[in-house]
Amino acid sequence: MSAFELYAPPHTDLWRKPPAADTATAPILFTALRHPFVSAEVTVAAEWRLEWDQAGLVIFAGTPPTSANAPVTEINLPAGADGSPPAYPQPPPASKWVKVGLEFCNNACHASSVCATQDGADWTTTSLPPTQATRGELRIKLERIGYALWVYYEDQHLGWKKMREVTWFFYGVENKSVRVGVYASRPANFPPSLYERRQGGSSVTQSSLRVEFDGLQIF
């Protein structure tokens, strides 16, 4: 896909805390693949302003988490022999998922990633070169190597840099259960500042994060 946008309202996130309690309010666009996953990459850019503003790639192994504001995806369910919908199976175990992107924290842009298992999720950030940290744009990539999922970001001078190896991601996973796509989120939900209230109109703290995605490739 070429350029497109996602808007993330305040207090939206993709996160997991024990015991597998998901927050899945972030806008997400994803797809199931017809062939085994190989790689995915995209460039993200935005006016990052609030702590934890973020966007990037996400990959699920299993049923993606849902909530009242669940992401929408296109699915095809085969009809039963009498034309009625098929019976739904029991809810599967919580999916494994990984996200990688650009995240604004401590007043600077970082490459960030999260790995989520059935027990919860972790979070890590990597500092970017000064000129890249202030530019607000980053190209990121996911790649499958055996059972492992490798996470990369693109250094503007040195090219692709390895950020993380998730050794267990594809172990015991059926190819048809893998879904991959993009997300955007604005977890912060701060009240308007005194200056914003005096200025009137919509405040930064109450507005949506607009993220531009470019050059999305999924193989």
**Between the CA of residue 116 and those of 41, 196, 210, what are the distances in Å?**
20, 37, 25
Q: What pLDDT digit, counting tens, does each position of 20-39 carry?
A: 688 999 999 999 988 999 99
73 belongs to a structural domain: no
- For residue 81, being part of any structural domain is answered with no
* C-alpha to C-alpha distance for 53 and 68, rounded to whole angstroms: 21
Average pLDDT over residues 54-79: 67
The predicted structure's pLDDT at residue 175: 92
Q: What is the dihedral of CA 47, 192, 52, 117, to 10 degrees?
A: -130
- pLDDT for 197 equals 66
Backbone angles phi, psi at 204, to 5 degrees: -60, -40
Asked whether residue 173 is domain-assigned, the answer is yes
Q: How much of the chain, in percent, has pLDDT values that exceed 70?
A: 79
Hey, what are 195's tokens? Answer: 């200056």
**3-state class (DSSP) for residue 143:** strand
Binned at pLDDT 50, 70 and 90, residue 66 comes out as confident
| Residue 134 covered by a domain | yes
Mean pLDDT of the chain: 85
Tally of structural domains, the chain? 1
Mean pLDDT of the 115-132 span: 92
Identify whether 40 is part of a domain: yes
> For residue range 144-203, what is the model confidence (pLDDT) as tens digits?
999 999 999 999 889 999 999 999 999 999 999 999 999 999 999 776 666 666 766 556
Cα(43)–Cα(51) distance, integer angstroms = 20
C-beta of residue 193 within 8 angstroms of C-beta of residue 206: no
The reported pTM is 0.83
User: What domain range is 59 assigned to?
Assistant: 4-68+92-190+202-218
Task: Quote the CA–CA distance of 17 and 179 in Å, as a whole number.
Answer: 21
Give the pLDDT score at 88.
36
Read off the DSSP letter of residue 31.
E
Contact present, 123 and 116 (Cβ < 8 Å): no
Q: What is the CATH number of the domain that holds 97?
A: 2.60.120.200
Tell me if 153 is assigned to some domain: yes
Contact call for residues 180 and 170 (beta carbons, < 8 A): no
